[in-house]
Amino acid sequence: MTEQLRRLGRRRGPAPEQQTGGLSEADAKLLEQAKARQRLEENFEAFPPRTERLGQHIKTMLGKSGVKGGRILEIGGRANPYKDWFPGFEYNCLDLEISEPGVIQGDITNCPEIESESFDAIISVDVFEHIREPWLAAPEIIRLLKPGGFTYHSTLFSWRYHPCPVDYWRYTPEALSFLFKDLRMMQAQFDTVERRRNLAGKGKHRVEPDAFGGFRENWRVFYAGVKEDPNAAKGVAALTARQQADAEARATGALDPSEAELKTVRDNPYPEED
Ligand SMILES: C[S@@+](CC[C@H](N)C(=O)[O-])C[C@H]1O[C@@H](n2cnc3c(N)ncnc32)[C@H](O)[C@@H]1O
């Protein structure tokens, strides 16, 4: 029995599943909601673990992008969580901290030591929420991508507070699309599979509620795109010029080129499982 059902049970006396009648309309609704939450938790348990599910999703999107091999960079993957998912690629990892041999120590918001256009694919999972200045990370990622290169980022719209080393941001699909607006967007959507993942649950997912009591309503969000335009922003240095051009476009009422693409995100905010 879930915590919600228990709580409702405590409030009303007998366990909710034993309550068959005599409930007010409001309590009947509460009971229905508690049961629905329990079903959602059980559904989540039916999905594969996070790394497996997201590894498969990245692989699917990578396949759709047409990038078939070469060099892949995982940002913030200090324990190399996705290393084995791309056997056709030379795997590299960049992180603020080194915990595994071969990890490049660096900051994705400013890494001039890494050559431009040196990766065929750049991915990250649960990293963008920890990047202090994500508006600097996107142009660096674009700079590091070869023309035709693929990028994928899964981050959080709603999640418990989890500093690693610092917890800065939460995102919508629109925010990610805006950061990567110099790319051709393949897809940017909410990912609700873990919505009722009970992080106060059992086994390896067991964690205490955070400082604010939070551990539920977990929504991911992801972005997948391709660098088609060889003249796309060339790193942080190109940002100011781009911002100026955007300001002029807004002043003249010109439509932001990403607006049409974002409309599809708004029309269909729920991801298909590939
Ligand atoms: C929550 S961990 C995610 C680890 C791994 N990607 C996973 O899915 O298990 C976030 C990682 O991002 C790294 N990170 C945070 N800001 C970064 C930055 N600006 N540049 C590179 N790595 C960064 C952190 O050091 C940390 O290893």
The H or E element spanning position 234 is none
Residues 6+ apart with CB under 8 A from 266: 174
Out of 38-52, 191-205, 222-236, give the one with best mean pLDDT.
Answer: 222-236
pLDDT average, residue stretch 225-240 = 71
Ligand 1 centre to CA of 106 (Å) is 11
Answer yes or no: is the C-beta of 117 below 6 A from any ligand 1 atom: no
Say what the pLDDT of residue 147 is: 95
Q: What pLDDT is recorded for position 265?
A: 40
Does the pLDDT at position 128 exceed 90? yes
- Sign of the alpha-carbon torsion through 210, 138, 244, 178: negative
pLDDT value at position 244? 67
The span from the CA of 192 to the CA of 19, in Å, is 31
pLDDT for res 125: 97
pLDDT of res. 130: 97
pLDDT of 31 reads 84
Task: Give the residue whose CA is nearest to atom 14 of ligand 1.
Answer: 76
CA 131 to ligand 1: nearest atom: 16
* Rg, C-alpha atoms of the chain: 22
Per-residue pLDDT band for 80 (boundaries 50, 70, 90) equals confident
Regarding the beta carbon of 50 and ligand 1, being less than 6 Å apart is answered: no
What is the share, in percent, of the chain residues with pLDDT greater than 90? 46
Residue burial 53-89, b: 16+ Cβ < 10 Å; e: rest = bbbebbeebbeebebeebbbbbbbbbebbbbebbeeb
Q: What is the pLDDT of residue 79?
A: 84
Average pLDDT, the chain: 78
- So what's the pLDDT on residue 13? 43
The DSSP symbol for 56 reads H
Ligand 1 pocket member 97 (CB < 6 A): yes
Domains in the chain: ranges and CATH: 3-46 (no CATH), 50-267 (3.40.50.150)
Q: Average pLDDT, stretch 129-151?
A: 97
Whole-number pLDDT of residue 252: 66
Residue of the CA atom closest to atom 26 of ligand 1? 76
Low-confidence winner among 28-37, 121-130, 186-195 (lowest mean pLDDT): 28-37
Nearest CA to 139 out of 173, 111, 113 is that of 111
> Per mean pLDDT, which of 10-14, 19-23, 140-144 is the most reliable?
140-144
Ligand 1 within 6 A of CB of 118:
no
**Residue 267 Cα distances to 176, 188, 264, angstroms:** 17, 12, 5
Residue 6 scores a pLDDT above 70: no
Least confidently predicted of 75-84, 219-228, 259-268: 259-268
Ligand 1 pocket check for 81: Cβ under 6 Å: yes
CB 94 near ligand 1, within 6 Å: yes
Query: In this structure, which amino acid lies at residue 134?
Result: P
Q: How confident is the model at residue 255 (pLDDT cuts 50, 70, 90)?
A: very low
CA torsion 155-190-152-239 (nearest 10°) is -80
Residues 132, 100: Cα–Cα separation, whole Å:
23
CA distances from 52 to 59, 85, 100 (A): 10, 9, 20
| 164-168, 178-182, 241-245: least confident range | 241-245
Name the residue with higher pLDDT: 155 or 10: 155
pLDDT of residue 268: 44
Ligand 1 atom nearest to 99, measured from its CA:
27
224 φ/ψ angles, rounded to the nearest 5 degrees: -130, 130
The gap between the terminal CA atoms of the chain, to the nearest Å, is 31
Give residue 191's pLDDT.
87
Pocket of ligand 1 contains residue 67 by CB under 6 Å: no
- State residue 37 phi and psi, 5-degree precision: -65, -40
**Mean pLDDT on 39-57:** 78
User: In angstroms, rounded to a whole number, what is the distance separating the alpha carbons of residues 171 and 158?
Assistant: 8
- Is the shortest distance between the CB of 127 and ligand 1 below 6 Å? yes
Mutate to test the pocket of ligand 1, among 50, 54, 95, 205 (most ligand atoms within 8 A of CB): 95
Cα–Cα distance, 146 to 144 (Å, whole number): 7
